Chains A and B, each alone.
Chain A
Amino acid sequence: MSIVALGIIIAIKVVVILAIILGIGAYLTLVERKVAAHIQRRPGPMVVGWHGLLQPLADGIKLLTKEDILPSSANQVLYNLAIIMALVPASLVFAVVPFGPEIHVFGYDVKPILTDVNIGIIMAFAFGSLAVYGVALSGWASNSKYALIGALRKAGIIISYEVVITFAALGPIMLAKSLSTYDIVMAQIHQKVWYIFLQPISFVVFVFALLAETGRVPFDIQEAEAELVTGFTVEYGGMKFGLFPLVEWYVEVLSLSSILTVLYLGGWSPINIPFVGFVDPLFFLGPWSGFIWFIIKVTILFLLVLWLHWTLPRYRIDQITTIAWKVMLPLALFNILITAFIAPLLRG
């Protein structure tokens, strides 16, 4: 493959991934409002378009045309830099997410993953936790006590749960004997088992950490409308305000759900019967069924997050960190101990 073709393929991948993520991210606001509405037994947005289908566009226009308010005592450089530092790392995670099996397009074998580095999963966690800078900076640069308290809480949560999420992910890594996201999925396909069946403890721990890192209920103490009036975003207005929830609630949830799918749910593989094989009701789609399976799994995880978000009350900040260090971390370590005995028994 020539260097020009390689460059073009990479450029196409970057454009496709960014367009899909940011487009879907905007439309997930509608999904969230609809799901929340139906959980609370009301119809949700119904006016703009059929069943509110054009609502995200209307919201976008509203946010963009709003007056751009800048707090007079804020540090302007950092105030604007914080937005970039929140958005960029969250979308960088998708560089190591494999969306499907290797496909054959225009005479080239293309892996639907931006960079198949041999330590992809570590990159995902590193980029995921870089998001803490956007939050910490936005809280400090706003020069407001609510924003600062929210930012400090968020930073505390991310530091605690970053440790937990890494230790939880060690289980599947040990079973797959690889740090590459693509190879972890391939290992699950070869061993004919989704790691959720072998790693139930670490799966639950990972889901908890996902909720905590993305600031979803029951871990949304950094926003806590009732006491902190949305925390670190309180001084932002217009689209600048719109970007923070977009990144935190949608892009990060999507990226961590994709990582979760890769680690525990076999990535793009169809329905699994442990140690027997895979059943694919979508066989008629040929090589494209993998992509559909990936999308289905991420969608289910996203709906699970929404379901928890709109039904649970929130924890106190000391309860959150206590759970992280005294319950989740020991559980994850215990899981690693068990996995060390299971891993040699798996073939492949």
Chain B
Amino acid sequence: MLNQIAFYLFGSISIICGLGVVSASNPIYVVLWLLGALIAISGIFFSAGAELLGALQLMVYVVAIAVFYILIITAVPWRKLHKNEQHNRLIGVTVLPFIALLYVEAFIVGISGVSITKNKIIETITKNYGNAEVIGIKLFSTYFWAFELMSVLLLISMIGAILLGRKEEKTYD
């Protein structure tokens, strides 16, 4: 009962914040609405008992990623913000069918009742251990290959970023 109330509360907050993201004109407000939506989503994770995912959502998306938006936007001068230029309409219209498709997919998955594993293996593991153990077991068994590939990909992108950002001469001293 409490879980359901929490779910509907956080769900409605995230929808309202999502509407704010697409309707606000000031970029700073957009980021703040996005922040609200991400926090509400982590609340949904918490109410579903996936504490680790919720905390990682807070740490990775809310803090690490959204803060970069703030950093970039705070560097934009105030004068430019007062112009209400909209030049993303074309992109918005093109993306719309794909988003609709996503909703159809979610609906089908929800109706057909897909579960991740047979015989409720995950549920028993969650009860006996914790969240972190479940994710660890899944990552290092079923999705091991994908996990390692992702690590290599991230390593490559990190080296690329360092190479691009490197300067031959020191700017200070």
What is the interface of chain A, defined by CB distance below 8 A to chain B? 75, 78, 81, 117-119, 122-123, 125-127, 129-130, 132-133, 136-137, 139-140, 143, 148, 151-152, 155-156, 158-159, 162, 166, 179, 316, 318
**With A and B bound together, what is the CA distance between A152 and B76 in angstroms?**
12
B contact residues around A122 at 8 Å (CB): 52, 55-56, 59
A contact residues around B74 at 8 Å (CB): 136, 139-140, 148, 151-152
Q: How far is the CB of B59 from chain A (nearest CB, A)?
A: 4
Knowing A118-B51, A136-B74, A159-B67, the reply to whether A126 touches B35 (Cβ < 8 A) is: no
Given contacts A117-B51, A137-B28, 20 further A-B contacts (CB under 8 A): A81-B32, A118-B51, A119-B52, A119-B55, A122-B56, A123-B58, A126-B59, A127-B58, A129-B59, A129-B63, A133-B67, A136-B67, A137-B70, A148-B74, A151-B74, A155-B70, A156-B71, A159-B67, A316-B172, A318-B172
A contact residues around B67 at 8 Å (CB): 132-133, 136, 155, 158-159
**With A and B bound together, what is the CA distance between A133 and B59 in angstroms?**
13
Let me know if B93 is at the binding interface, CB within 8 A: no
**With A and B bound together, what is the CA distance between A162 and B59 in angstroms?**
10
Chain A at the B interface: SS class = helix
Q: Which residues of B132-173 have CB atoms within 8 Å of chain A's CB atoms?
A: 132, 172
Nearest CB in chain A to that of B75: its residue: A152
Q: Are B58 and A126 in contact (CB under 8 A)?
A: yes
Nearest CB in chain A to that of B57: its residue: A126
Q: Are B28 and A126 in contact (CB under 8 A)?
A: no
Nearest CB in chain B to that of A179: its residue: B132
A contact residues around B73 at 8 Å (CB): 140
